Amino acid sequence: MSHFSNIKTQIRNLSSLEAALTDLGIDWKSGPSTVRGYRGQTRTAEVVIEQDNGSDLGFSWNGQEYELVADLQYWQQVGSVDRFLNKITQRYAYHTVIKESANQGFQVAEQKQNEDGSIRLVVQRWSA
């Protein structure tokens, strides 16, 4: 019986995911690599975060998005799964907005971290 849980996300861009993890100071390795779980069970993921307890977590492509794959019984991250995913999703969104804005000719004119944890971005594009 598998102890792995697959948790859906809205994460679709691997480079933005990797940048988000790096921003948050989370050590990760690029895959495909093995996610270790209960009693030697494994899964394959494109991004793997190793934990000290021998059980990993990872992000695996399901054809539409990167799901979080983990044996939640051995969760060893700071905070709950929801909090962990919320922090990653916020940084992921930040990188996605920056990348898409740049693709459309915009530059960041202002960036502010608000007290509530949100980020205010002002982008601009000069036209001739």
> pLDDT truncated to tens, each residue of the chain (128 aa)?
458 899 999 999 999 999 999 999 999 999 899 999 888 888 999 999 999 888 999 999 999 999 999 998 889 888 899 999 999 999 999 999 999 998 888 998 898 988 988 888 888 988 76
CA distance 105 to 88: 26
- The domain of 10 spans 5-102
CA distance 13 to 61: 10
Cβ neighbour number for residue 93 with a 10 Å cutoff: 15
pLDDT of residue 73: 87
Rounded to 5 degrees, what angle do the CA atoms 114, 119, 121 make?
A: 120
CA distance 47 to 24: 15
Tell me whether residue 54 is in a domain.
yes
Tell me whether residue 62 is in a domain.
yes
Cβ(125)–Cβ(96) below 8 Å: no
Total domain count, the chain:
1
Tell me whether residue 61 is in a domain.
yes
Q: Which amino acid is at 117?
A: G
Tell me whether residue 10 is in a domain.
yes
pLDDT of residue 121: 87
pLDDT of residue 128: 64
Tell me whether residue 107 is in a domain.
no
Question: Per DSSP, what are the bridge partners of residue 66?
Answer: 61
Tell me whether residue 51 is in a domain.
yes
pLDDT of residue 19: 96
